[in-house]
């Protein structure tokens, strides 16, 4: 197998492994609050929003040390160990107890930080400056296929049900745990890429780099990775991209946890309200897959850079937010287990609700594929610290959003996203324009 084929194989295996893991985890996230609402009528008392806030809060703090972990044990073992903790979290729902539920939330927060830092590192070392856009698109399309499969099962299994029984819950979460474990094992199929032509490396310095790496102690690697993370936090480019990243954290919370809960709480949707949660997840996934595939294919011949894709993403999201504002009752995110009978500004439509799911997924893919691409290109030599900072900002904003989702009415949540989305788009444009200007002058792109 040629070096280029090996790298493409690794990207595909990486995407497929994440697809299995997140088929389980994202389906779990979509239905967690609905399942916990049904449990709160028993001895169990907890909140899916609170659990997600814990996960993303721990996730954000853990990103400060994850480059050191990846430097010591490598991306492959880092992703495998993280996958085991993801599977443990999902298994907790088979027979949930408050202490195990919240403890697992802490552990998966740490695991998620390691997983995504290792993923960014693996993506970068298997790409070069010509393939980073394509590989980001391939990975994103495969990852977001996860939204399709798990939610398709939820749609058919929960159709016509207004309450989730113990038997339904156990069947779903046993299956999801097994699926997550399959994805975890797949990480062992990733092969070590050849060192030549890796993004950010010069052939002439390969031997010297290898000698330096072998001479560097394991502890030295860990300390160096930690220092690089701190330095990257305060660079102009990372500060600007952090506004865009903050927006992706807020809208991640909305489409992965809040919006499905809103749909499931609208009593005017009738007996289909619970199965519509699964259908919403499917259409989010279709939007994500379409965006990832399209922008991955276009990246080879894209003469206009990343800005048009990000502009498309924010326009699509603004349309979705406006339709959701009109179509959903304001108290839907915080409705009790009985749901809400409140009226929206227009007659609540299932078709509009599902169309908005598609728009949320498409817009999210616009932002994330371009962020993965620009980070892999700008910080090709410091990919693990760069992706750790990216996930640090994204996860802390997601944690804040899951926390306020317990209290804020829908229109206030939408307003927060509109503000961050506008300024995040402007800041992304600034970084891309500066980068394009430097490339046009023939300077080193990474020097900005």
What radius of gyration, in Å, describes the C-alpha atoms of the chain? 21
Structural domain range at position 298: 222-439
Last residue of a domain, one of 172, 190, 208: 190
Q: Do 409 and 351 reside in the same domain of the chain?
A: yes
Determine, yes or no, domain membership for 195.
Answer: no
Please list the ranges in the chain whose pLDDT falls under 50.
197, 200-205, 207-208, 210-211, 214-215, 443-448
Task: Measure the CA–CA gap between 56 and 252, rounded to whole angstroms.
Answer: 11
Answer yes or no: do 169 and 236 share one domain. Answer: no
Quick: pLDDT tens for 204-252: 445 445 445 544 565 666 666 666 666 766 778 888 999 999 999 999 8
Q: Is 250 found in the same domain as 134?
A: no
This prediction has a pTM of: 0.73
DSSP 64-130: TTHHHHHHHHHHHHHHHHHHHHHHHHHHHTTS--HHHHHHHHHHHHHHHHHHHHHHHHHHHHT--TT
For the chain, what is the domain count? 2
Q: What is the pLDDT of residues 370-416, one digit of tens each?
A: 888 888 777 777 677 777 788 888 888 988 888 888 888 999 999 99
Where does residue 349 rank: exposed (0-12), middle (13-18), buried (19+ CB within 10 A)? middle
**Domain of 370: which CATH number?**
1.20.1250.20
82 plus 22 within the same structural domain: yes
């Amino acid at each position: 197998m040629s070096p280029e084929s090996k790298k493409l194989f690794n990207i595909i295996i990486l995407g497929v492994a994440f697809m299995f893991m997140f088929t389980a985890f994202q389906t779990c996230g979509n239905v967690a609050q609905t399942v916990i609402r049904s449990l709160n009528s028993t001895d169990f008392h907890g909140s899916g929003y609170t659990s997600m806030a814990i996960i993303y809060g721990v996730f954000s703090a853990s990103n400060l040390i994850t480059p050191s972990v990846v430097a010591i044990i490598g991306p492959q073992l880092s992703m495998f160990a993280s996958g085991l903790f993801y599977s443990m979290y999902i298994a907790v729902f088979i027979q949930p107890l408050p202490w195990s539920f919240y403890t697992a939330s802490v552990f998966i927060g740490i695991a998620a930080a390691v997983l995504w830092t290792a993923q960014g590192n693996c993506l970068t070392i298997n790409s070069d400056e010509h393939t980073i856009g394509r590989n980001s698109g391939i990975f994103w399309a495969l990852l977001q296929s996860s939204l399709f499969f798990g939610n398709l099962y939820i749609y058919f299994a929960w159709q016509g049900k207004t309450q989730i029984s113990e038997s339904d819950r156990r069947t779903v979460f046993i299956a999801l745990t097994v699926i997550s474990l399959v994805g975890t094992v797949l990480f062992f199929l990733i092969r070590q890429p050849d060192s030549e032509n890796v993004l950010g490396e010069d052939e002439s310095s390969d031997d010297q780099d290898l000698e330096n790496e072998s001479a560097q102690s394991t502890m030295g690697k860990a300390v160096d990775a930690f220092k690089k993370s701190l330095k990257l936090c305060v660079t102009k480019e990372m500060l600007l991209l952090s506004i865009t990243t903050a927006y992706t954290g807020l809208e991640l919370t909305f489409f992965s946890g809040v919006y499905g809960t809103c749909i499931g709480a609208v009593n005017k949707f009738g007996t289909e309200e619970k199965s519509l949660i699964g259908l919403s997840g499917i259409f989010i996934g279709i939007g994500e897959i379409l965006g990832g595939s399209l922008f991955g294919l276009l990246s080879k011949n894209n003469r206009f850079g990343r800005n048009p894709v990000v502009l498309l993403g924010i326009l699509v999201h603004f349309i979705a937010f406006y339709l959701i504002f009109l179509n959903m009752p304001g108290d839907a995110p915080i409705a009790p287990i009985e749901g809400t009978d409140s009226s929206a500004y227009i007659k609540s439509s299932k078709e509009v609700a599902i169309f908005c799911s598609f728009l949320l997924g498409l817009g999210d893919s616009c932002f994330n594929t371009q962020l993965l691409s620009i980070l892999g290109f700008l910080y090709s030599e410091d990919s693990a610290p760069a992706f750790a900072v990216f996930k640090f900002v994204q996860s802390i904003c997601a944690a804040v959003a899951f926390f306020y989702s317990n209290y804020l009415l829908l229109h206030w949540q939408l307003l927060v996203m509109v503000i961050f989305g506008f300024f995040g788009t402007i800041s992304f444009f600034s970084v891309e324009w500066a980068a394009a200007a430097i490339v046009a002058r023939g300077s080193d792109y990474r020097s900005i």
